[in-house]
A and B are shown apart, each in its own frame.
Chain A
Amino acid sequence: MAPLLEVKNLHYYYGNIHSVKGIDLYVDEGEIVTLIGANGAGKTTTLQTISGLTSPRGVRGEILFKGKPIQRLRGNRVVGLGLMQVLEGRHIFAKLSVEENLLTGAYLRKDAAGIREDLGEVYALFPRLLERRAQLGGTLSGGEQQMLAIGRALINKPRMMLLDEPSLGLAPLIIKEIFIAIKKINSEGTTVLFVEQNSKIALATASRGYVLQTGEVVMHNTCENLLNNEDVKKAYLGM
């Protein structure tokens, strides 16, 4: 069976800065896959290019989602196909309430009753958002904002969710909570591809991993094998 997401020889250019240099990757339906690498390796660029959030002029190569090429689509169209991204840095709508933020994630859905139901599910997953539903997004703590960002993507019932550094700037306890939620989302049927600086938790959460270095995939294996790889241990796990 063809993978749900397939990226073939993907390049990205910011003007004449060549940031992503021919990446190949795939994610099968139901999988949870991670993309790790140092600062500036091109992780964010790769994810945002998949989601149509970078300028289409800079893209070369092919991105297939559900077998359809999407590399020419704008970001809002990609969302319509069932591919949602939780952005690096969370990007909460600061002056919208928590609930308005969540409902904005369901912007393309037309079934009011279904949206209500899924809003309830997001609140069940993150009870802290329910307590703060009327509060403005900008006033939440970092961890709560990350929950809100994930909830905002989840409410659209995506077939696949991309997450960019969900642990960014969070305390260890909150990181744990966030990753439990991500695993739960995956176990309930959403395919997940996530980017992480925190390689330890990334490799413990995912089943497969890609290691990115200056815009290229330098390693690809099961997380088990990556965890035992000497180079990975030295460079990314600090061992």
Chain B
Amino acid sequence: MTRKKTLLMAALAAAALIVIYLFLVNHAPIKLRRLALTGVMLGCIYGLIALGYSLIYKASGLMSFVQGDIMTIGAFLGLTFFTFFRGLFGTGEEGESNVGTFILSVLLTTAFAFLFGILLEKGTIRKLLNKNVMAIYVVLATIAISYIIQNGAQIIWGGIPLPVPSVFTVLFVQVIGVRIQPEMVLCVILSAGCMIMLHFFMTRTRMGTSLRAAAMDAKAAEACGIDVSLSTGLTWGMAAGLAAIAGILVGPIYGVYTMLGANIGRKGFSAAVIGGYGNMYGAMLGGIILGLAETFVAGYASSTLKNLIAYILLIAFLFIKPTGIFNERAIQDV
């Protein structure tokens, strides 16, 4: 995208946000405001997961079913670090602020997940591709790895959800007149921060541009001196890092359990399709749309329907607008 277009889009998005904010504050009933906030929070999580799908698809032309499980690992690992550092640095008193410890846990968890993502690509995906295995089998392999992680997590951490200690001293904050958990605000701020940083990294740095170049045309990138194999590994690492961040951020809100990532990860596919599979900005927007759609359906219709809406939207988009909101190429050339 050209700079002018990016600025225009940013301005439009900001204007839309202000209008929505004013409407919510002045006219909307409290229930609608609450749903909007929850929807945005959940949408950020979907967005982070969908971003990973898009990065992987662009870099390798594949989809990875492990993404959701990396989120689970991130949640458990985050909880483990958080508990450990709280014991180390904190007094353990009730109502103590743990923001610093939490951020530290986020950073460490992300670093671990990043390495895991690289290893996943280098150790399995790349190995299979080098054997000239067809893409569909590589995708099947990711499904197998996904189940292995799910069952492994079950063995290590057990089947019952674990609570995460609160990060802040206060139990509630007021946002547009609604009392919500401060961890929800943190979740939105950190996710948005990740997305903005990813945008600048991918478009404004040499490293990021080289990753995009390698994803667009591997041979041309290699002919420019880019180590494409390393680039692909790094991209899988970033996708894993984003998933782990999603995991550790929802921990304090939903608790941590072995199917956490699997459930959210599956729906993340839908977010990616809504936005345009493979498009970074589409992934974020698709995530928010899905988050809002789910919460509103749960709030105004039924919570059974809530779990279906992601898949209904996915099929609907495939039929009506397979290129998603951002017009990613979805139809095969004939």
A residues with CB within 8 A of B: 51-53, 74-76, 79-80, 84-85, 87, 91-97, 100, 103-105, 107-108, 134, 136, 152-153, 156
Contact = CB atoms under 8 A, between A and B. Distances in A.
Contact of B223 (A75, A97, A100, A134): A75
Interface in B219-247: 219-228
B216 A93 contact: yes
Contact of A79 (B3, B212, B216, B224): B224
B223 A87 contact: yes
Contacts of A93: 212-213, 216-217, 220-221
Q: When A and B form their complex, which 6 residue pairs have the shortest distance between CB atoms, in order from nearest?
A: A79-B225, A91-B220, A75-B222, A108-B225, A107-B225, A93-B216
Given A96-B213, A107-B206, 10 more contacts: A75-B223, A76-B226, A79-B222, A84-B223, A87-B223, A91-B220, A93-B216, A94-B216, A96-B216, A100-B209
Given A79-B223, A104-B224, A96 B212 contact: yes
A53 B217 CA distance: 13
Contacts of A87: 219-220, 223
25 contacts: A74-B227, A75-B223, A76-B222, A76-B224, A76-B227, A91-B220, A92-B220, A93-B213, A93-B216, A93-B220, A94-B216, A96-B213, A97-B2, A100-B209, A103-B209, A104-B210, A104-B213, A104-B221, A107-B206, A107-B225, A107-B226, A134-B2, A134-B3, A153-B223, A156-B224
Nearest to A136: B2
B222 A53 contact: yes
Given A95-B212, A97-B2, A107-B210, A53 B224 contact: no
Nearest to A80: B225
B2 A76 contact: no
Contacts of B217: 91-94
A80 B225 CA distance: 7
A156 B210 CA distance: 15
Contacts of B3: 134
Contacts of A76: 222, 224-228
Task: Report which residue of A51, A53, A76 has the largest number of chain B beta carbons within 10 angstroms of its beta carbon.
Answer: A76
B321 to A, nearest CB: 20
A145 to B, nearest CB: 11
Contacts of B222: 52-53, 74-76, 79
A152 B221 CA distance: 11
A104 B226 contact: yes
A80 B227 CA distance: 11
Contact-residue bracket for chain B:
10 to 19
B206 A85 contact: no
Contacts of A105: 224
Interface in B221-278: 221-228
A87 B220 CA distance: 7
Contacts of B210: 104, 107
Nearest to B230: A76
A101 to B, nearest CB: 8
Contacts of A92: 217, 220
Nearest to A97: B2
A79 B223 CA distance: 7
A92 B226 CA distance: 15
A52 B216 CA distance: 19
Contacts of A107: 206, 210, 224-226
A100 B216 CA distance: 13
B285 to A, nearest CB: 18
A157 to B, nearest CB: 12
Contacts of A152: 224
A139 B209 CA distance: 18
A75 B2 CA distance: 30
A53 B225 CA distance: 11
B48 to A, nearest CB: 22
A108 B223 CA distance: 11
Nearest to B227: A76
B57 to A, nearest CB: 14
Contacts of A74: 222, 227
